[in-house]
Structure 1
């Protein structure tokens, strides 16, 4: 593992994070960037070796984290309300390797209290590596944490 890069990423995240959507600590640590278009969110991030499992590719927990973040941020951006993941099904299709990754999240169905979303994670060759579907509880404005 490139310990210098890992320390630099951690220190940069400590200096730049804010406890809100898009800029929270883990988002900064993993170098996530957000692009919203219509009702779709694309998150891009660099693949660092400090994200690897012992086999030498991105750990499945990191992939699940990015998928969950993408769906939650899309809900927040579109509905102007935060949400809570009630359930998430994750399918690991191929190892996530390379230098960059891209995650795309969309709504399956929007409801007033419950929403259904999906997200897919691709490697830098455009190959699908992980897919997820999820059920979200929409937090009412009085329950929501302000961004």
Structure 2
């Protein structure tokens, strides 16, 4: 694995928010990233299912990670569209993403959340701005 992609991976894994939620990187290669999240009681809503905000966060993060694995450039979310398909109450969920279209400054990506039983839980499409030469 090249040094640049190792640094990008570390930037996510060292994020306080990333560890607070409980994400774990399963693999991080250029254009091929997968993370998992154990469903814990602290992440459940009043219906005792995984909170929709957790789905949104996981979709957003996996798309950003996938984009950065390719572009090696920081990015920020411009738009995020989520389809909630099935609830989750226990076990682990997994996220993968892919780039649909990449321009010089704007990238469109999509992602899926899958339960440990293989069931599709949520899908998302996002538009991201690459922060080239910006602080």
Instruction: Report whether the alignment pairs 1:66 with 2:63.
Output: no
Structure with the larger strand share: 2
The alpha-carbon deviation at position 138 of structure 1 amounts to 0.7
The runs of at least 4 aligned residues of structure 1 exceeding 2 Å deviation read 19-22
What residue in structure 1 maps to residue 115 of structure 2? 123
Q: Is the CA contact 2:44–2:89 (under 8 Å) kept in the aligned structure 1? A: no
Distance (Å, rounded) in 1 between the aligned partners of 2:130 and 2:66: 12
Greater C-alpha Rg: 1
Distance (Å, rounded) in 2 between the aligned partners of 1:139 and 1:77: 14
Gaps of 5+ in 2: 1-9
Distance (Å, rounded) in 2 between the aligned partners of 1:120 and 1:79: 20
Q: Deviations over 1:59-78 (max 9, x none)?
A: 00011011101111111221
Distance (Å, rounded) in 1 between the aligned partners of 2:91 and 2:36: 11
Instruction: Report whether the alignment pairs 1:135 with 2:111.
Output: no
Count of residue correspondences: 125
Instruction: Report whether the alignment pairs 1:94 with 2:86.
Output: yes
What residue in structure 1 maps to residue 101 of structure 2? 109
Q: Given the two structures, how large is their TM-score scaled by the length of structure 1? A: 0.79
Q: Is the CA contact 1:120–1:130 (under 8 Å) kept in the aligned structure 2? A: yes
Report 1:43-58 matches (<5 A): 43-58=35-50
SS at match of 2:13: coil
Q: Given the two structures, how large is their TM-score scaled by the length of structure 2? A: 0.86
